[in-house]
């Protein structure tokens, strides 16, 4: 069994937590809000 297939066998609350954590990471670190630069947080 692959790792991806075993992820889908996890309970629903665990899957929701993992997906929401990934979305939060994506927004915070990948930069969906590209108009905010690092200097904006410092000032």
User: For 1-36, what is the HEC assignment?
Assistant: CCHHHHHCCCCHHHHHHHHHHHHHHHHHHHHCCCCC
3-state secondary structure of 35: coil
**pLDDT value, residue 42:** 57
- Residues 3 and 22: their CA atoms lie apart, in Å, by 17
Spans of the chain below 70 pLDDT: 1, 31-43
Segments making up each domain of the chain, as ranges: 3-42
| Residue 3 confidence (pLDDT) | 74
Q: What is the pLDDT of residue 36?
A: 59
- For residue 25, the model assigns a pLDDT of 84
Mean pLDDT of the chain: 77
């Amino acid at each position: 069994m692959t790792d991806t297939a075993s992820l889908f066998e996890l309970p629903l609350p665990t899957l929701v937590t993992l997906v929401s954590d990934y979305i939060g990471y994506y927004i915070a670190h990948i930069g969906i809000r590209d108009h905010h630069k690092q200097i904006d947080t410092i000032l």
